[in-house]
Structure 1
Amino acid sequence: MYCTLTPDEIEAVARKRTAAARLGYAVSLAYLRHPGRVREVGEQPNDVMLAFLADQVDASASDLAVYDQRPQTRREHIGQIIARFGYQAFTRSLVRELVHWLTPSAGEDPRAEPLAISLIEELRRRRILVPARRTVELIVRHAIQRAENVRISALTGDLHPDHHDTLRALIAPPESGEVSTLSWLKAAPKSASAKSLKAVLDRLIVVRAIGLPASLRQNISTSALDSLAGEGLRITVQNLRRLAVPRLWAVLSAACLRLEEQLTDLALDMFDKLLGRSFRRAEQQSSDKASQLLMDIIRPLQSLKDFCREALTARLQTGDLNGMLDTANWDEIESATSAIETALGDGKPDKYSDLIGKYQTARQFAPLIIKVFSFKGAASAASLLRAVDVLRIMYNTNKRSLPDNPPTGFIRKVWRPFVFSAPGEINRRAYELCVYFELRDRLRAGDVWVEGSRQRRNFDDRLIPKATFEILRTEGSLPIAAAADAETYLAERQQQIEEAMATVAARAEAGTLPDAVIQGGTLSITPIKDETPEAATAMSRLVYGQLPQIKIPDLLTEVNAWTGFAECFTHYRSGRPAEDQKALFAAVLADGVNLSVSRMAAATHNLSARQIAWAHDWHLREETYSSALACLVDMHRELPLAKLWGDGVTSSSDGQFFRAGGRGEASADINAKYGRTPGLKFYTHISDQFSPFHSTVITATESEAPFVLDGLLRHQSGVAIEEHHVDTGGATDHVFALCYLLGFRFAPRLRNFKDRKLYLLPGMKPPAIMTPFIGGTIKVGHIVDNWREILRLATSIKAGTTTASAILKSLSAYPRQNGLAIALRELGRLERTLFALEWMRSLELRKRTSASLARGEARNALARGVFFNQLGEMRDRSYEHQIHKASGLNLLVAAIILWNTKYLEASVTDLRKNGVAIPNDIIKHIAPLGWAHVGLTGDYLWNMNPPFSPDRLRPLRKNDLRDAA
């Protein structure tokens, strides 16, 4: 692109008489375009570049040497180019202008390297010659400082002296007690209980009482606010006291604004969890009652069964029951009937009845939420919001009875028998509980929101503005893969489904579906078997047997020598890489092997806990972990052996459960799938080349489906995924829909696939053999009516305005009447139908999906082996520390995979040189997931100067199995 001459430039070159002059002129022109400076005397261009330019100007590459012998001609040509094509020299007068231009970017991202790149690109765009490196650094430094001053002014300009006094009091030494007010605010409890909720709300009230102006949030961007707030919440109070004014006021103001959001979301999370816990206990109590009821009535029922059988037999044989009735044991029948009446009582057990019995439990915490928060919502939630106001007035005035005719429009059918217990009467307890649970559900859905919350804000505020969307749509520049209008999309899908269904039906009738049979309205698919050859298992032992034994610290430093991933862990404030790499690696390793900082210091020579903690607090963040992981993944996918495993365009994701222990147990959830032990899940994406390119933390009870797209969209590596695989837990109709909209091919392995129904468009008639599998007709009206909002939602996710997980969790919680949720569901059903038809007829797709998921399961085994300290339990309460553990573990796993791949290549090459035949079809079954040769335990000794250069690997071990092979 930079060396392709325009017609105007070619015309200017053609005016030169000699081939040397033409080539020299063209080279000077290309240099001014990129890298944006004058070519130095004697500087030799890239051979490919030179040949390309010479070909365009009818010259030879050797002509440049002739041209360089006449410096006067070279200077004249440069002057002509600058004059004709509008280039200008850099002058000192431009410094101030460029500093102002760069300041907004520095306010969003203060890292020097991206800012320097942005500045140089702008200079090239303006055709200004790029100045010396020192000048570029000067402009960047001044822009960063100016952006800092702008941020500080934005957060301090509207503050009054009273605010200064209140903010300073937050970090004042405590008169009594052990911690400052700010430390107390940051130490909010995380476990869900009525006591913890009250403690969180007490802190929230203190933050609100500071009375910061509402204008502060509008004065500064979210990223800039997050940066200053992170500093205020990360730095110790002692270091905060050393900050100079006005920076101190800005940092404390940002910290308070962020604390208000965090405490708001934490309180609402607890409200959600506590109500969910009450509901689960009511369900369990109802289930226990039902089980006990069955045990109580089974013997009486047997007596009545015998009596009824005798009566039926007598009627059939004689037609006369008198004899049988005279001989019946009426005392036993009376006893059995009484026992059944007693056991049944007022009726069968009901979880809502048991839930109302737990009213006092909910009364301990729910009124606190009603009193402290002000709720807003869509028109559909108006009745509920009026009911919330009614309860707030009741609680504030200590009344114990509802007013006449309270709002009831929000009460759903399942609650009505309990709320309206008698004609004209409302059961107050049932009414309050109904309000609590309906409020929880509407908060989840997003049609009720709380001002000051980040997670539970207005749904529409999460999307890009409608005006911006319409501009993009009109210009045809939406960053998504969907059709421009619903009619085009539906017509395409109708044709594809008709063709696919006809193919499946024809093959089913002919009995040629691969490893699948449709017979009697039932689909049978043969499970995919492991196709790993026995030779691959033996060859894997042989190849791995040559890998050097290595301690994990040496592995990390060696991988860093290859990739430089340590440079990604920049300082939170300055943006500079860590100076003490030994402490940085120790902090990363502590996260990866699940070790505390103090325990890591005890296992590491010449490093104190304070050094490691400092590196951990200032350099380890979710974004720096992601950047470092991308370095490893990008190198790994370029290795020849990795390309044998896959093309790097397919991936899978899966959740791995880790038990919670110690302090972490209080904030974890119980999922019956994993037993009665609380815990959480690390949800990880892995490519077909075994690269784990993304990982996050989700609660044990959360669905995995909302997080599928987060990993595909938010990773920082160069992996470009086209097809993605999950198990049943990661698949919903909404995910099918969004994968289509965002350009991913979604191919889950669904449990009970034979029972999954297909959905057709109106007017479509399936072949007779396919009729039993049809579940209904797509409601195309919802898709057509909401197509613009569907595209706006997908565009918002793609652009990063919101995350797919936040949107999907809200949509899955929406009440049934929400048009967008229904439209996305119908769209997903259509995509799932098309996928299901392909699954039936494509054995290759089934094999590919099974193999992809197997890679993820094998990776989980490696992760479990690495995450071995503290009994492999998660003992951190806060999400920040949990995500650090997940990110550290994933980085460590990626480092082991990269190191293994490099040395497996060397081992295979060595074996082949020594006459061992290892075909590529066998190698692709040897996974880089072994860790028997990696020393994970013991003392950690850090040699920051690896004895082997990036171009020279450690010597391989000599394998005794070679002769046998």
Structure 2
Amino acid sequence: PQNFATFADRVLALVPREQLQAAADTVDALTRPRGETRLESLLSRYSYVQQFLPTLLKTVEFEAGSSGQSVLAALQALRGLERRGQVSAAEVPLTLVKGSWERLIARRGPLHRGAYTLCVLEHLQAALKRRDLYVPASPRFHDPRLRLLSSERWTALRAEVCRSLDLDPDPQVVLARLSAQLDERYRLVEARLPENAAVTLEERDGQQVLILQEDGALPEPPSLKRLRGAVADLMPRLDLPDLLLEVHGWTGFASAFTHLSEGRTRVDHLAVSVCAVLLAEACNVGLEAVIQPETGALRRGRLAWVDQHYLRAETIASANTRLVDFQSTIPTVSRWGDGQVASVDGLRFRVPVKTIYAGQNPKYFGVRSGVTYLNFISDQYSGFHSIVVPGTLRDSLFALDGMIEQNTALQPRQLISDTAASSYMVFGLFRLLGYQFSPELADLRERRYGRMSREADYGKLNALASAPINTRLIAAHWDDLLRIAGSLMTRTVRASELLKVIGVSPKSSLVRALEHFGRIASTLHLLSYHDDPVYRRTIGTQRNRQEARHRLGRAVFQGRQGELRQHYVAGMEDQLGALGLVINAIILWNARYLDRALDHLRAQGVEVREEDVQRLSPLKFEHLHLGGRYHFPLTPPLPEGQFRKLRDPDEPEE
């Protein structure tokens, strides 16, 4: 941090120069052997590398762009060294031999075979991360930049893409519009500073910063507490199997599960079998907990067959669409939001089994590995998309995937996330695609505020707007930026795959242009975040809804100590997809009965205030029995079109 750096400079100013030089000499002496120790450690692994390297070089076909040609040439040289004895250093390209490797790999005389091999493999790893080197046949290590719209197709689609995204092909038109918007926002914030009690402008370490006071929680009026208690008293109590079957009776979501190879295959009571498998996966209890040998639809063989042939990513997504679309038609749900606002956050699961699809993070998983289940939820509480990622990869890599790839009737335009999901590249891509990216920022004082006009006078905020935005760079790469936006909009390439590649250093001029474009959107967000309490409240409310949904998810996923025990990514996606589907079914059931409870209270003459209804939540689960008893009846729990009787608050508990 800057204040610590200033403190350190002052301390060092008190130390005599000769003592500083002696300390520097000591550090240099200590770090020099560390480099040698690192190389010696690598060389000790050469025999291990030789066990798989020949097969790797023989089997995998690497390709490279212009920046990866030196690594590709070195790999081809390694192929030529197989089954050869001593070779001369002059026979192989030595472009990659730099730094510490030069002490081991001489440019003349015999080649140090082990050192050269490990040097090339070290550069291979870095080149694969940047996709300077790529494997066309690999779903993970291909170059997503090659999947952008081709020149011919982009020429044909340019006008349509610009019209759909409301972007002008002329960069000067877009930049002039953004410059006017940024100027207006700066002046509006500056004019409101005297009356904005939540914000103060202060000077810290020679820089102007906006200090934002934390917003307090909204007080709960007595009418809200009474309404919340009255609704809770009316909610029927039931078991999770009955809830799933009842929701299927409303939506037919279990019918979205089709056979893997025969789409029209149907058996008796398939919906019961599907709901049982979904419950077993979502509650993490396994099929044993739902097997009923006396019932054909719930025998071990039937459930295992349904699990293998019906439960997969596309059928789960199709069933989830039915739930989300049905929930949006419930009258009370529209009081919570119109589906325009969404949020993304990760739910962490430890994975105690051996798998390459989990990652380590001591903060979340301790000594074990784990995965993150990214949830995208709307302001109507429904989860409309989800992604399973290994470890704790940054949410920002996948934030756009959920907005673009979801297929529900919802059309969210604003995405809310935590601080970890924010980056200038993400801001830039969201702005290009017409979305509002609104992360909840924890480090506001360290944020930089962009400026497009050097001559603009923003009064008290002049010193704050200290980060110049390179509009010339944006204009020079505008057509390429539009092509990226068009490729994402048409789903030609995934945003997460593209961000993983272009975000690696050193960054190209195109990436820097995207970042400068993102600084405009980031600055607009920062100014609104400081100036508009409604904007801040929207972000905070949606983040609280996301956390409450996570608590419900933890309560449902209660078996096996809440650990995910899948070895392969497909199994993880299926099980966590089932969890998301069951959570949505619970929320839908709660929302519909909450709506009926409110109608009942109104009919009884109870005052139901609109502002109180907006603060009710369908994420409560105290009335649900989530564990220990899973009985699925073959007949529907209720006749079609009928509902359960609301509870009588005065009736004693059974």
One fold, TM greater than 0.5?
yes
Cα pair distance change 1:506/1:431, threshold 3 Å: farther
User: Structure 2 counterpart of 1:512, which letter?
Assistant: E
Cα pair distance change 1:507/1:419, threshold 3 Å: farther
Aligned runs of 1:916-931 on 2, under 5 Å? 916-931=606-621
Cα pair distance change 1:553/1:757, threshold 3 Å: same
Give 2:540's aligned residue. 850
Give 1:685's aligned residue. 376
Give 2:7's aligned residue. none
Give 1:378's aligned residue. 65
Shift, 1:452, TM fit: 1.8
Give 1:444's aligned residue. 129
Query: Does 1:420 pair with 2:139?
Result: no
Query: Does 1:587 pair with 2:269?
Result: no
Shift, 1:352, TM fit: 5.8
Query: Does 1:505 pair with 2:190?
Result: yes
Mean CA deviation greater in 769-778 or 515-524: 769-778
Query: Does 1:700 pair with 2:391?
Result: yes
Give 2:78's aligned residue. 391
User: Structure 2 counterpart of 1:573, which letter?
Assistant: S
Aligned runs of 1:43-442 on 2, under 5 Å? 346-348=29-31, 355-359=38-42, 360-361=44-45, 364-365=48-49, 367=53, 368-394=55-81, 396-397=82-83, 403-404=89-90, 406-409=92-95, 416-421=98-103, 432-442=117-127
Give 1:956's aligned residue. 646
**Between Structure 1 and Structure 2, how many residues are aligned?**
622
Shift, 1:454, TM fit: 2.6
Give 1:473's aligned residue. 158
Query: Does 1:755 pair with 2:442?
Result: no
Q: Structure 1, residues 536-567: CA drift from partner, whole Å, max 9, x if none?
A: 34532331122111111110110011011112
Query: Does 1:804 pair with 2:495?
Result: yes
User: Structure 2 counterpart of 1:876, which letter?
Assistant: Q
Shift, 1:905, TM fit: 1.4
User: Structure 1 counterpart of 2:243, which letter?
Assistant: L
Aligned runs of 1:721-732 on 2, under 5 Å? 721-732=412-423
CA contact under 8 A between 1:447 and 1:459: conserved in structure 2? no
Aligned runs of 1:543-582 on 2, under 5 Å? 543-576=231-264, 578-579=266-267, 580-582=270-272
Shift, 1:662, TM fit: 3.2
User: Structure 2 counterpart of 1:466, which letter?
Assistant: S
Shift, 1:637, TM fit: 1.1
Of residues 463, 466, 480, the one that matches 1:789 is 480
User: Structure 2 counterpart of 1:641, which letter?
Assistant: T
CA contact under 8 A between 1:651 and 1:687: conserved in structure 2? yes
Shift, 1:433, TM fit: 4.2
Cα pair distance change 1:778/1:342, threshold 3 Å: closer
Q: Structure 1, residues 252-291: CA drift from partner, whole Å, max 9, x if none?
A: xxxxxxxxxxxxxxxxxxxxxxxxxxxxxxxxxxxxxxxx
Distance 2:414 2:181 in 1: 19
CA contact under 8 A between 2:357 and 2:569: conserved in structure 1? no
**Helix, strand or coil at the partner of 1:684:** strand
CA contact under 8 A between 1:479 and 1:795: conserved in structure 2? no
User: Structure 1 counterpart of 2:141, which letter?
Assistant: R
Of residues 543, 548, 571, the one that matches 1:881 is 571
Q: Structure 1, residues 884-942: CA drift from partner, whole Å, max 9, x if none?
A: 01110000000000000111112222233334333121122121011121122224222
User: Structure 1 counterpart of 2:168, which letter?
Assistant: A
Distance 2:465 2:617 in 1: 41
CA contact under 8 A between 1:443 and 1:456: conserved in structure 2? yes
Distance 1:787 1:780 in 2: 10
Q: Which has the higher contact order (CA 8 A, sep 6+)?
A: 2
Give 1:459's aligned residue. 144
Give 1:625's aligned residue. 316
Q: Structure 1, residues 709-744: CA drift from partner, whole Å, max 9, x if none?
A: 111111121001011111012222111111112121
User: Structure 2 counterpart of 1:820, which letter?
Assistant: L
CA contact under 8 A between 1:603 and 1:940: conserved in structure 2? no
**Helix, strand or coil at the partner of 2:165:** coil
Aligned runs of 1:510-525 on 2, under 5 Å? 511-513=194-196, 515-520=198-203, 521-525=208-212
CA contact under 8 A between 2:144 and 2:497: conserved in structure 1? no
Aligned runs of 1:891-902 on 2, under 5 Å? 891-902=581-592
Cα pair distance change 1:663/1:385, threshold 3 Å: closer
Distance 2:246 2:83 in 1: 68
Of residues 696, 706, 713, the one that matches 2:404 is 713
Distance 1:761 1:847 in 2: 29
CA contact under 8 A between 2:162 and 2:168: conserved in structure 1? no
Q: Structure 1, residues 478-497: CA drift from partner, whole Å, max 9, x if none?
A: 64343322221111111111
Of residues 554, 557, 560, the one that matches 1:864 is 554
Shift, 1:409, TM fit: 4.5
Cα pair distance change 1:594/1:721, threshold 3 Å: same
Give 2:181's aligned residue. 496
TM-score by length of 2: 0.87
Cα pair distance change 1:401/1:697, threshold 3 Å: farther
| 5+ long unaligned stretches in structure 1 | 1-304, 313-332
User: Structure 2 counterpart of 1:347, which letter?
Assistant: L
User: Structure 2 counterpart of 1:618, which letter?
Assistant: H
**Helix, strand or coil at the partner of 2:332:** helix
| 5+ long unaligned stretches in structure 2 | 1-11
**Helix, strand or coil at the partner of 1:346:** helix
Shift, 1:768, TM fit: 5.7
Query: Does 1:945 pair with 2:627?
Result: no
Cα pair distance change 1:352/1:594, threshold 3 Å: farther
Shift, 1:534, TM fit: 5.2
Distance 2:88 2:526 in 1: 53
Distance 2:384 2:85 in 1: 56
User: Structure 2 counterpart of 1:732, which letter?
Assistant: S
Structure showing the higher helix proportion among its residues: 1
Give 1:529's aligned residue. 216
Give 2:523's aligned residue. 833
CA contact under 8 A between 2:438 and 2:539: conserved in structure 1? yes
CA contact under 8 A between 2:161 and 2:486: conserved in structure 1? no
**Helix, strand or coil at the partner of 1:404:** helix
Distance 1:406 1:760 in 2: 50
**Helix, strand or coil at the partner of 2:415:** strand
User: RMSD between aligned alpha carbons?
Assistant: 3.2
CA contact under 8 A between 1:605 and 1:941: conserved in structure 2? no
Q: Identical aligned pairs, as a percentage?
A: 27
Distance 2:274 2:86 in 1: 59
Give 1:641's aligned residue. 332
Q: Structure 1, residues 572-625: CA drift from partner, whole Å, max 9, x if none?
A: 222226432222222221221123334543799552222112112221111111
TM-score by length of 1: 0.60
Distance 1:647 1:778 in 2: 35
CA contact under 8 A between 1:481 and 1:740: conserved in structure 2? no
**Helix, strand or coil at the partner of 2:345:** strand
CA contact under 8 A between 1:578 and 1:615: conserved in structure 2? no
Q: Structure 1, residues 41-66: CA drift from partner, whole Å, max 9, x if none?
A: xxxxxxxxxxxxxxxxxxxxxxxxxx
Distance 1:355 1:600 in 2: 54
Distance 1:428 1:782 in 2: 45
Give 1:935's aligned residue. 625
Distance 2:294 2:559 in 1: 15
User: Structure 1 counterpart of 2:181, which letter?
Assistant: Q
